[in-house]
Amino acid sequence: MTRDSGTKPAAVSAQFDAVVVGAGFSGLYMLYQLRQLGMSAKGFDAAADVGGTWYWNRYPGARCDIPTTDYAYSFDPELEKEWIWSEKYATQPEILDYLRLAADRHGLRSDIEFSTTVTSAHWDEGENRWKITTDRGNEIWCRYYIMASGCLSIPKSAEIEGAGQFAGQVYFTSQWPHEGVDFTGQRVAVIGTGSSGIQSIPLIARQASQLTVFQRTPNFSIPAHNGPAPAERLVQLSDDRDGYRHAARWSRGGIPAEPTDVLGVTASEDVRRERFEAAWDQGELFGILGVFADQGVNPDSNDIVAGMIREKIRLAVDDPETAEALCPKDHYFGTKRPCLDTGYFETYNLPHVRLVDLRKQPIIRITEEGIDTADQSFEFDAIVYATGFDAMTGALAAVDVTGRGGLSLTEKWAPGPSTYLGLMTAGFPNLFMITGPGSPSVLSNMTVSIEQHVDWVAGCLRDMRDAGFDTIEPTALAESGWDEHVRDCAAITLHPTASSWYMGANVPGKPRVFLPYIGGVNAYRQACDDVVSQGYLGFRRTGRGGDQCRDGVIRSMQPDVAMVLEIMAGLGLPPIQTLSAGDARALMAAAAATRPPGPEVAEVTDGVMPGPGGDLPYRLYRPAAADQGPHPIVVYFHGGGWVLGDLDSDDPLCRDLCARSGAVVVSVNYRHAPEARFPAAAQDAFTAVQWVDANTVSLGGIPGQVAVAGWSAGGNIATVACHLARDAGGPRIAGQLLINPVVESEMMRQSYAENGDGYILTTALMRWFWDHYADPAERGDPRAAPLLGNLADLPSACIVTADFDPLRDEGVAYARALDAAGVPVRHVRARGHTHTSLTMVGIVISGAPVRAQMAGALADFFPAPVTGAVSNSSIG
């Protein structure tokens, strides 16, 4: 980090409770809170004054892109009353003045050493303290080391050959001269079209005699429609400031907003257009990012918004070739931070402004006179680099930080940052990060996230002091659990598909991991609060108060599964076990009617087959046209506790298995309890397998390639059919895919204790199922409890178990028992899933990779290469 010159303070060697690096929004509020706690604290900033981002980024047009009514502190009501923002999106000088006022109101400058860069921080295990050194020779010992050093504070270097050769003026938007720059009459180059480029280009164009913009990646940008602060928001704030701020803290992005439930893929053309135009006219980031509920996860929905923005760009730019070059097409909208602009695209209509598309005409080198591209040499008086930042980890890694045992932070983070809650990292006691990787930070209104982080850290320090602890550090388990949760949240969105700075893709050699937490400010705040209310779950704290470690993982459920559970809880549906079988079936059918249909398959036909108690309806799913077969066949049995379910209930799952595996799926509607009790369902399953085996060719199957599959109770009868087939000497079954199967009736395993309530399939419901299906005396029969039977010589198995399923442990036990009996078994653990979530095709996105594994297992059952399978990555 470069240091801004200023009056050189005397070198000091001193002790403080805390050192805070950075004097922007984060550092200032942290210092304030430390004072409130009565702790001694020292702040450092490389800048010559407070302000952070708003101290450094003084380029023309620099403004916030979150409305300033919201992009502000909320901790100081007097400051809120005293300061009136002049515009909807305030300029850099105004925000800097605001931060200066905030610092002065609380006399914070006296605690800060300006023009001083912190160069190293080493944890001393004997002292249980940090030793901090600066570029001015200060050596400071402190208990707590707090990096409020900014997510976008380390500019990315130019990385273009010859960058040092240019004889004209060179400017970086992130380190703009304080006295400003007059480009009047100059030939100016701007390299980079991210937010800073997009904000500055229209203003530089007003002065320059020639402006050439070098664009590598076009970015989505919408007009800011700047002006006075929105009247409606001012009224909301003056009517109920506390309520407004509370709503912001518990919102998804840090601004109060009602999330929509309109899906882009199902909305009518009129509704799509109306919603898009409203967001366009509003000119706010979270508005355009929330036109549809599914635009962040569904490519088709995203394309609708992206397409409409491209339309607007084509309307704004006169020259069709330039317009096309300015239209982003290589990333989904929102997967890179969209920009807000004032007249950006229209600037390209000016006769002295030209766009150079570096994808067609790459820069070869910077010369003394200007820039050489593959096709042309340009001469310039000034070059402006708007090339962005080493985001989120740059400032943290720029300091030589070592923790326990001399562990270096950069070494630990070489594969990508690893944190607990984005606040701390294991091996580095008492090191706190404000808006670190793994927290919402740059995806949110950062002032809200900053205040939340600082409040959490302050609360943590207070709690430690009260309990007599003086060190705190996350456990490895808690940290890896959080990292996994951060990845899980990103994985269900389109974000990881983009080469964005969120992914570290703008910095050569930086590992590609999605850096921020995308689960939302509200969900994140809840997780942080839950950690505290569970006695600092995932942290180890030591001191005279003892050595306390509450190890554990704060969020291990897949985020979309948690969302579905929350929605279902909100519906207030009656527990199924309180209903009659008929009413329960009607409820299930009504719920099934509202689901997405599942993927297309080549053919779906209904038929009947003879069964022991009368005809059994079946539905056949064919992966490709019949003349492209034959295909292996999977005989599938639906779930529903032997009581519920039918050919419709598992239809999306059957389509999904068919499309992914390339097998014909024959879904059989067996007889249900209580009308037909044990062993009717099991007998039907066996009969169905016999019938399919006998009719393989006419069904379009390959003789000898028939497997069984089933979910839940369907898994139970699928494996029982395998037992019966073995005992009867045939038919030969190629394999068994058992998804969360019921394999015993005891309901005594640990997973019942852990997951018996709250995850849709409950212990009470399981009991209701068993009561409808089999008498207690029958429940030990291997045809009801196959785990108790002879498992030798059964077909190869793939057993899927879900973490939050009461049946989890019996599934695991069955996999182990099969293995012990010599049956080839593959166990697929559906991490973070419930009993039902894998079947929610098109709703629970995180289920897709698990279903891909199931399809892979099915394919492995069959010897011949399978034709007709759709690429797994193309199915949601």
Ligand X SMILES: Cc1cc2nc3c(=O)[nH]c(=O)nc-3n(C[C@H](O)[C@H](O)[C@H](O)COP(=O)(O)OP(=O)(O)OC[C@H]3O[C@@H](n4cnc5c(N)ncnc54)[C@H](O)[C@@H]3O)c2cc1C
Which positions touch ligand X (CB under 6 A)?
Answer: 1, 21-27, 44-47, 52-53, 55, 57, 62, 64-66, 71, 117-118, 148-153, 196, 395, 398-399, 434-435, 445-446, 450
Question: Taking Cα atoms as reference points, which of 531, 391, 398, 539 lies closest to residue 452?
Answer: 531
Q: What angle do CA 831, 836, 839 make, to 5 degrees?
A: 90
| Residue 174: strand, helix, or coil | helix
Minimum distance from residue 43 beta carbon to ligand X (Å): 9
| 24 vs 519, beta carbon nearer ligand X | 24
Between CA 478 and CA 388 the distance in angstroms is 32
Between CA 514 and CA 518 the distance in angstroms is 9
| 413 vs 768, beta carbon nearer ligand X | 413
Minimum distance from residue 339 beta carbon to ligand X (Å): 10
Minimum distance from residue 243 beta carbon to ligand X (Å): 21
C-alpha separations of 350 from 184, 318, 377, 555 in Å: 16, 10, 21, 53
Minimum distance from residue 803 beta carbon to ligand X (Å): 35
Positive or negative: CA dihedral 776, 781, 782, 788: positive
Residues near 121 by Cβ (< 8 Å), separated by ≥ 6?
Answer: 19, 130, 131, 132, 133, 145, 399, 400, 401, 402, 431
Kindly give the residue spans of alpha helices, DSSP state H, lying in 667-712.
Answer: 680-694
699 and 666 Cβ atoms separated by less than 8 Å:
yes
Minimum distance from residue 113 beta carbon to ligand X (Å): 9
| 196 vs 219, beta carbon nearer ligand X | 196
| 237 vs 262, beta carbon nearer ligand X | 237
Between CA 591 and CA 78 the distance in angstroms is 51
Q: Name residue 496's amino acid.
A: P
**What region does 441 belong to: left with phi over 0, alpha with psi -120 to 50, or beta?**
left
442 and 495 Cβ atoms separated by less than 8 Å:
no
Minimum distance from residue 189 beta carbon to ligand X (Å): 20
Kindly give the residue spans of alpha helices, DSSP state H, lying in 431-493.
Answer: 446-467, 476-491
| 347 vs 393, beta carbon nearer ligand X | 393
334 and 494 Cβ atoms separated by less than 8 Å:
yes
Please compute Rg for the chain using Cα positions: 31
| 434 vs 576, beta carbon nearer ligand X | 434
Between CA 647 and CA 184 the distance in angstroms is 74
Minimum distance from residue 399 beta carbon to ligand X (Å): 5
Backbone dihedral angles phi then psi of residue 721, each to the nearest 5 degrees = -60, -35
| 192 vs 731, beta carbon nearer ligand X | 192
| 173 vs 834, beta carbon nearer ligand X | 173
19 and 132 Cβ atoms separated by less than 8 Å:
yes
Minimum distance from residue 167 beta carbon to ligand X (Å): 28
Minimum distance from residue 42 beta carbon to ligand X (Å): 12
Minimum distance from residue 470 beta carbon to ligand X (Å): 25
Minimum distance from residue 439 beta carbon to ligand X (Å): 11
Residues near 374 by Cβ (< 8 Å), separated by ≥ 6?
Answer: 361, 362, 364
Does an H or E element contain 172, and which? strand 169-172
| 25 vs 759, beta carbon nearer ligand X | 25
Between CA 398 and CA 513 the distance in angstroms is 19
| 434 vs 738, beta carbon nearer ligand X | 434
| 68 vs 712, beta carbon nearer ligand X | 68
| 45 vs 473, beta carbon nearer ligand X | 45
Minimum distance from residue 45 beta carbon to ligand X (Å): 4
DSSP 124: E
Q: Token pair of 353, please?
A: 């402004």
| 43 vs 868, beta carbon nearer ligand X | 43
Q: Token pair of 421, please?
A: 């809650």
Between CA 266 and CA 301 the distance in angstroms is 9
Let me know how long the chain is: 876
Minimum distance from residue 832 beta carbon to ligand X (Å): 30
| 118 vs 707, beta carbon nearer ligand X | 118
Say which residue the tokens 């402190």 belong to.
Answer: 142
Between CA 737 and CA 735 the distance in angstroms is 7
Between CA 381 and CA 365 the distance in angstroms is 16
| 118 vs 308, beta carbon nearer ligand X | 118
Point out which residues pair with 408 in neighbouring strands. 402
| 446 vs 478, beta carbon nearer ligand X | 446
Minimum distance from residue 195 beta carbon to ligand X (Å): 6
Residues near 392 by Cβ (< 8 Å), separated by ≥ 6?
Answer: 151, 417, 436, 437, 441, 442, 515, 516
Between CA 838 and CA 849 the distance in angstroms is 10
Find how far residue 585's CA is from the centre of its chain. 35
Q: What angle do CA 639, 640, 643 make, to 5 degrees?
A: 130
Minimum distance from residue 173 beta carbon to ligand X (Å): 7
Minimum distance from residue 253 beta carbon to ligand X (Å): 9
Minimum distance from residue 89 beta carbon to ligand X (Å): 7
Q: Token pair of 454, please?
A: 């600082």
Bridge-based pairing of strands 603-609 and 546-550 is unpaired
| 449 vs 669, beta carbon nearer ligand X | 449
| 1 vs 673, beta carbon nearer ligand X | 1
Question: Taking Cα atoms as reference points, which of 804, 811, 806 lies closest to residue 756?
Answer: 806
Minimum distance from residue 65 beta carbon to ligand X (Å): 4
Kindly give the residue spans of alpha helices, DSSP state H, lying in 12-164.
Answer: 25-36, 53-56, 77-82, 92-105
